[in-house]
Every structure is written in C-alpha cells, then in structure tokens.
Amino acid sequence: MVKDGLYNPCFSCIKRTFGEYVYSIKLKNMIQEKILKASLYNKLISVLTRQIVNYGF
C-alpha cells in the first residue's frame, strides 16, 4: 500500500505550475482537465530532464 506522503510532492508541483482550481463546470470535464494538466506536467518534466542530460545545464 502506498502512503499519501509519496504523492503530495507531485500534486504540490502540479498545483504550483498550473494552479489549484479547475475552470470546467461538468464533472466529466473537470476530470479531463486534471488528466490534461498531469499529462502536460509529465511532458514538461521529461523535456527538461532530457535537456539537462543532453546539454548539461
């Protein structure tokens, strides 16, 4: 079983980057918005990590 303490830093980073609130009204759209934000965050991290490894920033 995974403890909540492992997820909190990730959620905190996503909230700092994209904001804590959702702009959608319907629950289905809220879920899609959160999934989109998490996907964008993962893509951003992978791009930045790749740049650090390739260029040594």
pLDDT at 1 over 60: no
Taking alpha carbons only, the member of 11, 14, 21 closest to residue 40 is 14
In the numeric block, the tokens 């959620």 are attached to: 11
User: Of 18 and 32, which is predicted with more confidence?
Assistant: 32
Q: What is the mean pLDDT of residues 3-30?
A: 80
Residue bearing the bigger pLDDT, 56 or 15: 15
- Structural domain tally of the chain? 1
Q: Domain of 40?
A: 4-55
Read off the tokens for 21. 């609130």
Which amino acid does the sequence have at 41? Y
Q: How many CA atoms lie within 13 A of 8 on its CB side?
A: 3
Q: How far is residue 2 from each of residues 6, 12, 31, measured CA to CA in Å?
A: 7, 17, 22
Greater confidence, 36 or 9?
36
pTM: predicted TM-score of the whole model, two decimal places: 0.67
| Predicted pLDDT at 7 | 67
Q: Give percent of the chain above pLDDT 70.
A: 84
